[in-house]
């Protein structure tokens, strides 16, 4: 299969779904004019050329276990909205203080810090609104108990025992001596938890068997960590033009990373090994998991 | 009935439920040590002597329509967690830049701005985790479709068409000419939406009839606005010691308020009128709505 084409096609589906959910704010009339800048700020950050890795993983897992149709879209959008809110807040002056992302000014640089905070808050809240919205289920019957379970898993992955907890540990360890257990905690929580949830939620909604869910969970744990190691490596040797943001920032901030702890070569070896372990977890399955296999390899081959 | 005693009793139930959900972080061992400061920051803001008006309204509405037992607690806690996250973010330097709340340093003053942002993010996310958690339903059978509907209504009230939208309009109108429609938009969204949702969610979970839900909705719309007008009045003539925060800040920030637009006397008249209209909406009902009647009167009689 052509993985680039696959990723492009799914990205197009996601971009268009997100665009429908956050349309251009109407000018002039109606109460919505009072929050026009918020809606613009959200669109700026949400429709900004992201790779859509998390929702694509979700769709790929959904389809791998036999799921069909658009039932996955509200959850795929919700995952991307939660990811985007976390980027907006991470970029704030009190956090990583980044001016550029994907080659464009960050949300708070363009709209001010207050709107940056509120755009993140709004995206996080709207993600839960979308995922629990009856009409976004589109007449398709999905067991409401399963939806509650899925929303709960996403909240857990994004919350203080997941992504937010990882971000706290990351912020607090800047400039300090960091050992491998702490680095692993940061990575598995800050990035890994939401990637894991993306795969598992797609699989659950697609009707995965217990056994398939276990295999996909192992797959997701491994690519989650590989993805973050690859990110660390790109921060060292990536091209700022391809990334659309500054590189070398981890070193200048005294952030612990895989390259700083283990060296570049060993980090690359580990990332490659994790990708092979991820693919190995899918061994019992056929061509229906080819997208997942190829996404795993893409994770460490990407340039941005 | 003794409304002070009623409020104290319900507040005690809420304080204890929130304390159970966010226990003191364990020292030393386990992965939770990595996010210890986050858990401390959340406890600082959440268990800080709040009046618990929103969850108490929710419980009172739930019991008024015949609801019994603890089924309401996860949602009552979720509402208070969402309210608390909004206070933490409102207090940030980029927003209202407040140093004190309820007589204690605000979250970011004590724990730093990054942890303040993340404590808010964490509380908002954990609210949705708690409300969708199967085990917090405690073996009690509640229709999962109803829970999805309730969570959706809360997300809508807290999101960009609700509380976050109101906060944006509030921030952006500082120092500008504000007319009554805009002021009303700010109030009904920033404060009113979540108060309305609190009452409606309690009523829905308690099994309210269509007619009772309509009456309680009218009640809640009116006390929501009365509550905010009373807040505006307290900012002008309240005692900083009773409030535990600075007063007179609306004027110094050039914030539009009911007193600044209509004068103190007319504002008081409107608040009292709204309370009577709220009570009138409950006219067809008996003693089971006495707590709601008394809470409405408390809203404008309170000193903090």
Reported as a single tens digit per residue, the pLDDT across B194-213 is 999 999 999 999 999 999 99
For residue B192, which of B147, B146, B158 has the smallest C-alpha distance? B158
Q: Work out the minimum CA distance from B21 to partner chain A, whole angstroms.
A: 12
pLDDT digits (tens, 9 = 90+) for A270-284: 999 999 999 999 999
Q: Work out the minimum CA distance from A148 to partner chain B, whole angstroms.
A: 6
pLDDT of A33 above 70: no
What pLDDT score was predicted for residue B252? Answer: 75
> What pLDDT band is residue A32 in, cutting at 50, 70 and 90?
low
**DSSP assignment of A237-268:** HS-HHHHTS-SSHHHHTT---HHHHH-HHHHH
B-chain residues near A174 (CB < 8 A): none
What average pLDDT does this structure show over A85-100?
96
Can you say whether residue B209 is alpha, beta or left, with left for phi > 0 and alpha for psi between -120 and 50 degrees? beta
What pLDDT score was predicted for residue B31? Answer: 65
* Tokens at A201, concatenated: 């939620």
Distance separating alpha carbons of residues A274 and A224, to the nearest angstrom: 9
Please give the interface size between A and B, counted as residue pairs whose CB atoms are below 8 Å apart. Answer: 161
Who contacts A208 (Cβ-Cβ below 8 Å, separation ≥6)? Answer: A61, A65, A216
pLDDT of A238 above 90: no
List C-alpha distances in Å: B243 to A115, A143, B223, B240: 28, 47, 20, 5
What pLDDT score was predicted for residue A34? Answer: 72
pLDDT of A31 above 80: no
Residue the block writes with tokens 């970011």: B108
What pLDDT score was predicted for residue A94? Answer: 96
- CA dihedral (B126, B127, B133, B135) in degrees, to 10, reads 90
pLDDT digits (tens, 9 = 90+) for B66-78: 999 899 999 999 9
Average pLDDT, chain A: 92
B-chain residues near A157 (CB < 8 A): none
pLDDT of B28 above 70: no
**DSSP assignment of A261-273:** HH-HHHHHHHHHH
Domains in chain B and their CATH numbers?
3-21+36-301 (1.10.600.10)
Distance separating alpha carbons of residues B15 and B51, to the nearest angstrom: 10
Distance of alpha carbon A287 from its chain centroid, rounded? 25
Q: Cβ of A160 and B126 within 8 Å?
A: yes
pLDDT of B300 above 90: no
Residue B101 β-bridge partners: B104
Distance separating alpha carbons of residues A223 and A75, to the nearest angstrom: 20
pLDDT digits (tens, 9 = 90+) for B93-120: 999 999 999 889 999 999 999 999 999 9
A108/B31: higher pLDDT: A108
Give me the residue from B38, B160, B165 closest to A160, CB to CB: B38
> What pLDDT band is residue B1 in, cutting at 50, 70 and 90?
confident
Eight-class DSSP state of A25: P
pLDDT digits (tens, 9 = 90+) for B264-299: 999 999 999 999 999 999 999 999 999 999 999 998
Residue B30 β-bridge partners: none
State the Cα angle at B26 between B25 and B31, rounded to 5°. 95
A19-28, B81-90, B96-105: the lowest-pLDDT one: A19-28
For chain B, give the number of residues. Answer: 304
For residue B92, which of A209, A118, A40, A292 has the smallest C-alpha distance? A118
Tell me the whole-structure pTM to 2 decimals: 0.95
List C-alpha distances in Å: A214 to A204, A211, A217, B53: 11, 5, 5, 44
What average pLDDT does this structure show over A51-74?
96
Q: Cβ of A155 and B94 within 8 Å?
A: no
pLDDT of B216 above 90: yes
What average pLDDT does this structure show over A208-228?
97
Q: Has the ipTM of the complex gone over 0.85?
A: yes
A-chain residues near B37 (CB < 8 A): 168, 172
> What pLDDT band is residue B138 in, cutting at 50, 70 and 90?
low
Exposed / middle / buried, residue A184 (Cβ in 10 Å: 0-12, 13-18, 19+): middle
pLDDT of B158 above 80: yes
Largest Cα span, chain A: 59
Among B121, B173, B183, B186, the residue to mutate for chain A (most A Cβ within 10 A): B121
Among A114, A120, A193, the residue to mutate for chain B (most B Cβ within 10 A): A114
B230/A140: higher pLDDT: B230
* Tokens at B155, concatenated: 């997300």
Largest Cα span, chain B: 59
Closest residue of chain A to B131, computed from CA coordinates:
A152
The answer to whether the Cα torsion of A136, A154, B133, B66 is positive or negative is: negative
What pLDDT score was predicted for residue B235? Answer: 87
Distance separating alpha carbons of residues B222 and B219, to the nearest angstrom: 5
> What pLDDT band is residue B29 in, cutting at 50, 70 and 90?
low
B-chain residues near A182 (CB < 8 A): 34
pLDDT of A111 above 70: yes
pLDDT digits (tens, 9 = 90+) for B222-273: 999 999 999 999 988 877 667 777 777 777 777 888 999 999 999 999 999 9
What average pLDDT does this structure show over A26-50?
82
What pLDDT score was predicted for residue B110? Answer: 96
pLDDT of B32 above 70: no
What pLDDT score was predicted for residue B176? Answer: 85
Q: Work out the minimum CA distance from A301 to partner chain B, whole angstroms.
A: 31
B-chain residues near A125 (CB < 8 A): 124, 155, 158-160, 164
Q: Cβ of A134 and B152 within 8 Å?
A: yes
Closest residue of chain B to A158, computed from CA coordinates:
B125
Q: Work out the minimum CA distance from B143 to partner chain A, whole angstroms.
A: 9
pLDDT digits (tens, 9 = 90+) for A164-189: 999 999 999 888 888 988 999 999 99
List C-alpha distances in Å: A111 to A37, A80, A150, B76, B177: 8, 21, 33, 34, 21
Distance separating alpha carbons of residues A289 and A67, to the nearest angstrom: 12
What pLDDT score was predicted for residue A235? Answer: 87
Exposed / middle / buried, residue B44 (Cβ in 10 Å: 0-12, 13-18, 19+): middle
Who contacts A180 (Cβ-Cβ below 8 Å, separation ≥6)? Answer: A261
Contact between B7 and B56 (Cβ < 8 Å): yes
Distance of alpha carbon B273 from its chain centroid, rounded? 22
């Amino acid at each position: 299969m052509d993985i680039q084409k696959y990723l492009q096609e799914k990205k197009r589906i996601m971009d268009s779904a997100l665009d429908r959910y956050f349309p251009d704010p109407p000018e002039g009339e109606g109460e919505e004019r009072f929050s026009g800048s918020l809606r613009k700020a959200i669109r700026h950050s949400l429709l900004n050329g992201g790779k859509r890795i998390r929702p694509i993983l979700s769709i790929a897992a959904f389809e791998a276990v036999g799921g069909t149709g658009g039932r996955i879209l509200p959850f795929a959008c919700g995952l991307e909205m939660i990811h985007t809110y976390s980027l907006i807040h991470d970029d704030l002056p009190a956090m990583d203080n980044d001016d550029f992302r994907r080659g464009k000014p960050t949300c708070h640089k363009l709209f001010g810090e207050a709107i940056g905070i509120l755009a993140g808050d709004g995206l996080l809240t709207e993600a839960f609104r979308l995922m629990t919205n009856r009409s976004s289920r589109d007449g398709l019957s999905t067991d409401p108990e399963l939806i509650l379970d899925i929303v709960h898993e996403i909240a857990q992955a994004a919350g203080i025992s997941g992504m937010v907890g990882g971000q706290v540990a990351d912020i607090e360890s800047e400039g300090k001596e960091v050992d491998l257990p702490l680095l692993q905690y940061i990575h598995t929580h800050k990035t890994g938890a939401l990637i894991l949830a993306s795969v598992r939620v797609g699989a659950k909604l697609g009707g995965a068997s217990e056994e398939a869910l276990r295999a996909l969970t192992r797959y997701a744990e491994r690519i989650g960590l590989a993805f973050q190691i690859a990110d660390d490596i790109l921060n060292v040797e990536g091209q700022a033009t391809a990334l659309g943001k500054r590189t070398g920032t981890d070193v200048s901030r005294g952030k612990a990373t895989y390259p700083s702890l283990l060296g570049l070569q060993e980090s690359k070896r580990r990332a490659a090994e994790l990708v092979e372990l991820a693919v190995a977890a899918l061994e019992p399955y056929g061509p229906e998991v080819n997208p997942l296999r190829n996404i795993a390899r893409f994770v460490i081959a990407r340039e941005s």
